[in-house]
Amino acid sequence: MLLFEFDKDYRDKFGLVCGVDEAGRGPLAGDVYAAAVVFDEDVTIDGLNDSKKLSAKKREKLFDEIIEKARAYSIAAASVEEIESLNILEATFLAMKRAVDGLGLDFGLVLVDGNKKPPLQYPVETVIKGDSLSASIAAASILAKVSRDRYMKTLAEKYPQYEFSKHKGYGTARHRELILKYGPCEIHRKSFLKKLFKNG
């Protein structure tokens, strides 16, 4: 379990380690999600990996196992309104901060996927492709992704004309076609649509 070994190296140096990742930075619609996960050192989860490399069915299965085995976990979001008023990077950082704060624990280190450091009250280390390297980041990526997908499915019931359950708000050709046909709704990120309407 190389991902758990990766975290152990940091745990040996810093004590309790928290992994953080996001889901939904790129879509044209919906909130951006983040999750934070802390594992105790004796935990292992077979098949844990970057959420993007797993099937939806596998992610759902791992979601339940992560929640069961984590010492602590937290899932948070930043709204479309916050994305529009702050920008997507700052809104992502806000969701990450909410997730970390929601754990109610103190850490020696927060491991964050990517190369941008959110402003947190704990030491932060960024890890490029961390969701493929760190168990706690991979787990956070799964919790964030599954939670956001579930949220988009509920929006699909409210706004059936956009078929959110299929593309989850990402800018697929079909989604763009539907936006041009029906116009954007309140959960579309208007700043993300400028290019579409310029070209449309």
- Taking the C-alpha atoms of residue 128 and residue 63, their distance in angstroms, rounded to an integer, is 23
pLDDT confidence of residue 83: 98
SS3 121: coil
pLDDT confidence of residue 155: 96
Low-confidence residues in the chain, pLDDT < 50: none
Contact 36, 135 (CB under 8 A): no
pLDDT confidence of residue 1: 66
List domains and CATH numbers for the chain.
Answer: 2-149 (3.30.420.10)
- Taking the C-alpha atoms of residue 32 and residue 16, their distance in angstroms, rounded to an integer, is 26
